[in-house]
Structure 1
């Protein structure tokens, strides 16, 4: 009998496309060059996001329409229900911002889930991040330190799953009892010799857990 939780990244896992790409493609074509600088290590993650999200220059209703365009993994909502049915908790851990995540969860009728992310807000026709350097999970590079969050969750849970797709997820992967990965994260975890299961969707994860067994919750 264990107390367990399934923790998931948002962009590229729950969503099939990072929200920053929707902004770059729609309003900020210069952002593609910025993206390559970021990936080359010339910018911190949070600097890249702040620049992109402050380059929209639209009314909030227009930005909300853009958020509605974020494509989702259609199997995520049934998976969350399955986690709750099996006695676990489901949480979203994102180095993006809760501004668009919370809006989209409400719009798509998600079950109630905890969102742990960089606080964001709309002001002056753009999205802004409200990051507290004195916060317990502060990261100078990402805004939020996902590994620290996982270590904190370890104080409550006996068993932690994690699902991610990119470099920021390689850090919480070190704290997970069972790790699921897709896209770029697969090669990163291979290089780091971090154990993981390669998947493409939440339906893949559900199939694996159905076959191998879910945790026996309290």
Structure 2
């Protein structure tokens, strides 16, 4: 076990705050894709292609796709119960709890989905900021976007940059994997990146550490929290 020491501002507040993506980062698969593959009416793949080609943003893509879902609450829960999370995330939660480092899940996915999976792993205490999944009838659903930003560069339902602005007195550590993280990656103080976020960080010279699983994060996170953080070339990659 390695030691993480937490430095505090003179007023006693914690200077670091971890904002962590969920789909493909904590969960091993994309939860929205799983639900669409099991329960969506025809047409969701065409909407996905429009998003992939850049014709629509992720907010509009999700809004249209979720409207195609045909599932009951029980079917929703049964599908979610089969979705696995990275086991290393459990250890990260223990570390952040022990050393009083705030950890918030910020996702362009769906709140009910995330909370159901977290509860299964006894992690329901973690704060979640995400799009709101609302059941409109026995088998129909819609998305609401309480965290949207009309000027969001990523055109996401949950603007992660807007969320980060809620913590102006804290250094932000982003843990993420894809498009919905691109905007916040530029604004965060440090990034732990996987998948397409790695290349984005490299191309835009964003300080980051690449990882494939949460167990890769523990030691570089300890080094980061021990350091007097400065945004220079020496902080580009922590190993």
TM range (shorter): 0.7 to 0.9
The equivalent of 1:36 in structure 2 is 49
Asked whether 1:138 is paired with 2:149, we answer yes
Deviations 1:172-215 (A, max 9, x none): 112222211000111122222222111111111113224x2535
Conserved? CA contact 2:115–2:124, under 8 Å: no
The equivalent of 2:92 in structure 1 is 79
Deviations 1:132-177 (A, max 9, x none): 4xx6x5346212211121122123x2x2211110111011112222
The equivalent of 1:89 in structure 2 is 102
- 5+ residue gaps, structure 2, are 1-6, 9-13, 228-239
Relative contact order (C-alpha < 8 Å, sep 6+): which is higher? Answer: 1
Asked whether 1:214 is paired with 2:225, we answer yes
Matched position secondary structure for 2:135: strand
Conserved? CA contact 2:22–2:106, under 8 Å: yes
Choose 72-81 or 115-124, whichever is displaced more: 115-124
Superposed CA RMSD = 2.0
What TM-score do you get using the length of structure 1 for normalisation?
Answer: 0.87
Deviations 1:28-84 (A, max 9, x none): 364333322211111220121122222221111111111222221111112111111
Q: Distance in 2 between matches of 1:204 and 1:114?
A: 23
Q: Residues 147 and 213 from structure 1, CA distance in 2 versus in 1: closer, same or farther, beyond 3 angstroms?
A: closer
Asked whether 1:154 is paired with 2:180, we answer no
Decide which of 45, 50, 70 is 2:58's aligned counterpart. 45
Q: How does 1:1-218 map to 2 (within 5 A)?
A: 1-2=7-8, 3=14, 4-28=16-40, 30-110=43-123, 112-124=125-137, 125-132=139-146, 138-139=149-150, 141-155=155-169, 157=170, 159-210=171-222, 212=223, 214-215=225-226
Q: How many residues get paired?
A: 210
Matched position secondary structure for 2:172: strand
Conserved? CA contact 2:44–2:68, under 8 Å: no
- 5+ residue gaps, structure 1, are none
Matched position secondary structure for 2:162: helix
Structure showing greater Rg: 2
